[in-house]
Structure 1
Amino acid sequence: MAVILGVAPFDRPARAQAQPEAPPARTGDGPPIAAPATEPASPPADASAARGPAAEANAGAPTLQGAAGPGPAATALPPPAEEEPWKKPLSVAAWARVGGRLQNPDAREKMDRLLADGELHLLFSGEINRFIGVQGAVVAQFGPTPTGGNIAGSATLRDAIAKIKFHDLLNVWIGRMIVPSDRSAFSGPWSMVPWNYPGFFEPYAPPLGPRQGPFGRNDGVTAWGKVAGGLFKYYVGAYNLHDSSASPLYTARLNLSLLDPEPAYYQKSTYLGEKSILALGVAGEVQRQGSVESLPPPAMDMPPGVPRKDTYMEANADLLFEKNLGTAGTLTLEGAFYKYIGDFERFDYSYFALASYLTPTNVGVGKLQPLVRLQQAKPKNADPYLLIDAQMGYVIEGHAARAALGYQRSDLSGAKGNALFLGVQLQK
């Protein structure tokens, strides 16, 4: 089962990875808590206008002309002062997910064991001045391990970002952050309709998709900018800079929104009807000697072999359509395709496609959101992998309070599996 708690604004995925972007605070300006490993930077606090002492003292008072009749014009009161973002205190949020999965890890067609997992994210963000900001996230989690044990509450630093804004056309982020590779990474599991992050075909393995790092994060630098308030955005970056034994990972992404703009660094995979979205994204990655041969364990009387290497490349495209149809509800359609290039890459390509519907009115305290998603991956030397999710979501307070109940059918080159899952997410 899964639960989320959050405070303050924050705008996928990562892979585990996210994240949230995470995603992201509900204002859309913060990160998702990323991708599994993956959704997540945090959004700024609400900026409400602050009235000065003079304005407060005179609120509701009659003008001099109205009180005394004809005469010199009364002195106009100054407009309310807008509080500058960097004069506000540090924004703090707490997000939590708790979930359970009914499936036997040793006999995956049987649903006779309950495996629970969860995570808690503490997110921090603030502006130092009009050009410089800071963002961070610390995450603690628990859950099952491949050996049958349990992660007993490990905590890690997931985001540590110094943000510099030169102009809307040029922002530079430095540190540990979500790799801008696809929409799912920006959104993280926090701001998408499916409970399960895409690409998790094999148990206890990172999700299949663009190369990123644990929970969709990596250490590096990103330059990004936007045009027309976010109708068009670009991202370029270099990552894996903490590892002197490996080449940097270079990425680039372009995003075009044909209806409503998406101004934030992070992008959601659903806006729950608050925006009309028709957005196309394309991205690519390259890493010299990043495709590495997998060698069998060495024999006891033989030294370990030296793996061969080749240049790794990946290209992907994603499309999101979401429309609020008024009294007919909200329709969401999403798809993504990934191509992997390198002599020693296990997979040739992968993709997913989904359709979901959000009811226009509440059923009880929330809206129903049924979903169907198909995922497929093609290994180079085996039959395709297939995952099908059928899920019923319950949206109580947007992304800040929701639950999901669903069934997943898997077929990994003939190895079949069944699973029931339940999750709860909260953000404050």
Structure 2
Amino acid sequence: MKKMNKVAYLVALASTTTLAPMATSQAAGTITFGEDQYISVGFGLRGSYSNIEDAASDGGNTNDFELDSARLYVSGSLNKYIKGMFNSEKSGGNDSFQIIDAAGIFQFTPDMALWAGRFLSPSSRANMAGPYYTSGDGYWANITARYGWNGGTIGRDDGVALVATAFDQRLAYSFGLFEADKIFEFSGLGNEAGRGGNATNPNQDDDLMYAGRLQYSFWDKEPGYYGTGNYLGTKDIFTIGVAGRHKGDGAASTTAVGDYSQWTVDLLVEKKLAAGAVSLEAAYFDYDTDDVFLSEQGEAYYVSTGYIFNQKVGWGQFMPFVRYQSFDSDAGETERTDFGVNYFIDGYNASVTAVYRDLEREGLADQDQFVVSMQLQF
């Protein structure tokens, strides 16, 4: 029986629609106990080889194999009203696993649910899709989608959110309240910000973060809360989304306190053609830290385009892509251009990607990177 390949994504679909499979997905292991009662288990992994210019300790190029990510997915359903998910992640150089998703989903109606626990707060498409469901090299737009890269537990927060759809699922909206105590977890601010940018400061209030997202699909519908960055030629998509976050006193150092806010607008267009499908993804971001952290304050945008060929070559389909990212912070600009090709063997279940990156950072020498990555999900 075909279901979603990523079990967390399967449960996410339950928040706004029936559990219908996507054309690019494959089954996880599912044990059914009765009507609307089941437990599903799956796992995913990402590994890569990278050659990075002038990044070695002797000034030469680095050559590294890396287990970039390993995930365990578990979901379950007590009945058609109460569901849940539990997902863990090993990422980067840390071999310990983290709990990234642990949420209960209370389905009031087919079009409205309440999520509670730890999960992705409403945000940009890039953050909602994450590294396993992007059209690029298996990594989200981390130069521009700052919260997905820096904030929370791999972009997740503890909180509660209303997740709903309207107008035959063309309009999707979500709004929630979250702890958000690790906004700058991996920002490179060091001891200046303390853990998560919340250094000890007697003037800092313990406010919650408000987060929301609104999107409308003009062509094919995009049901579900957790999203995807590309449908790989299975749908015609024209969707526009807006999202925002705000946390009073969310930016705090030992010497200053300010509010943290961000907002974004994003676009995904995909069109099936005779020989394949062309796609365009774009987004604009605005970040404000009340001048507390200038390196995390500014404007960012990215543009990505790709073309997936219908014709299989060997086991799978080729998809060349180009992506450009720019983050113009108040402390300097960072730009990255990616030229790559995906080879999808079984959609997002099995793929290989080769990408060349040109990284430009203000005040630093340009850096060339070459990465070959592999993704598997079961």
TM-score over 0.5 for the alignment? yes
How big is each residue's C-alpha offset from its partner over 1:227-286, in whole Å with a ceiling of 9 and x where there is no partner? 134211101011117799732111011010111111112211111111111000001111
RCO comparison, higher one (Cα < 8 Å, 6+): 1
Q: Would the alpha carbon gap of residues 43 and 216 (structure 1) be closer, same or farther in structure 2, given more than 3 Å must change?
A: farther
Counterpart for residue 49 of structure 2: 100
Summarize the alignment of residues 5-154 of structure 1 with structure 2, pairs less than 5 Å apart.
Answer: 9=4, 24-25=9-10, 29=13, 86-87=36-37, 89-103=38-52, 104-106=54-56, 110-141=60-91, 143-144=92-93, 151=94, 153-154=95-96
The one-letter code of the counterpart of 1:396 is I
Shift of 1:343: 2.2
Q: 1:390 matched to which residue of 2?
A: 339
Give the structure 2 partner of residue 336 of structure 1.
Answer: 283
Partner of 2:247: 287
Amino acid in the other structure paired with 1:418 = D
Partner Cα separation in structure 1 for residue 65 and residue 58 of structure 2 = 12
Residue-by-residue CA offset, 1:319-369 (whole Å, 9 max, x unaligned): 0001111x3211010001101122224231111001100011011111110
Q: How far apart are residue 409 of structure 1 and its match? A: 0.6
What are the superposed Cα offsets for residues 291-319 of structure 1, whole Å, 9 maximum, x if unpaired? 234xxxxxxxxxxxx32111211110000
Matched, 1:158 2:100: yes
Report the secondary structure of 1:364's partner residue.
coil
Q: Give me the whole-angstrom Cα distance separating, in 2, the residues matched to 1:354 and 1:94.
A: 28
Note if contact 2:272-2:278 (Cα within 8 Å) is conserved in structure 1. Answer: yes
| Deviation by residue 1:75-102 (Cα, 9 ceiling, x = unmatched) | xxxxxxxx96523x30111111111211
Change (3 A) 1:291 1:242: closer
Cα distance between partner residues in 2 of 1:401 and 1:196: 11
Contact 2:212 2:243 survives alignment (8 Å): yes
Partner of 1:319: 267
Distance 1:222 1:318 in 2: 21
* Gap change, CA 1:223 and 1:10, over 3 Å in 2: farther
RMSD: 3.1
Query: Is the alpha carbon distance of 1:400 and 1:348 closer, same or farther for their aligned partners in structure 2, counting shifts above 3 Å?
Result: same
Q: Which residue of 1 aligns with 2:201?
A: none
Give the secondary structure class of the aligned counterpart of 1:274: coil
CA contact (8 A) 1:187 1:266 kept: yes
Deviation of 1:134 (Å): 1.1
Structure whose CA Rg is larger: 1
How far off is 1:30 after superposition? 7.5
In structure 2, relative to structure 1, the CA distance for the partners of 1:332 and 1:230 (3 Å cut) is same
Amino acid at match of 1:340: Y
Give me the whole-angstrom Cα distance separating, in 2, the residues matched to 1:30 and 1:235. 14
Counterpart of 2:211, as a letter, is T
The equivalent residue for 2:210 is 250
SS at structure 2 position matched to 1:287? strand
Question: Which segments of 5 or more consecutive residues in structure 2 lack a partner in the other structure?
Answer: 16-24, 183-203
Q: Give the alignment's TM-score, normalised by structure 1.
A: 0.72
Using the TM superposition, give the Cα deviation of residue 200 of structure 1 relative to its aligned residue in structure 2, in angstroms.
Answer: 3.3
1:228 aligns to what?
167
SS in 2 for 1:361: coil
Count of residue pairs brought into register by the alignment = 340
Q: What are structure 1's unaligned runs of at least 5 residues?
A: 1-6, 12-20, 32-41, 51-82, 145-150, 294-305
The equivalent residue for 2:256 is 308
Structure number with the higher strand fraction is: 2
Distance verdict in 2 for CA 1:387–1:242, change over 3 Å: closer
Equivalents in 1 of 2:59, 2:322: separation in Å?
Answer: 20
- Partners of 1:30 and 1:423 lie apart in 2 by 31
| Residues 109, 257 of structure 1: alpha-carbon distance in 2 compared, 3 angstrom cutoff | farther
Alignment match, 2:187: none
Distance change (3 Å), C-alpha of 1:255 and 1:322: same
SS at match of 1:280: strand
Secondary structure (helix, strand or coil) at the match of 2:36 reads: helix
Shift of residue 381 of structure 1?
3.4
SS in 2 for 1:184: helix
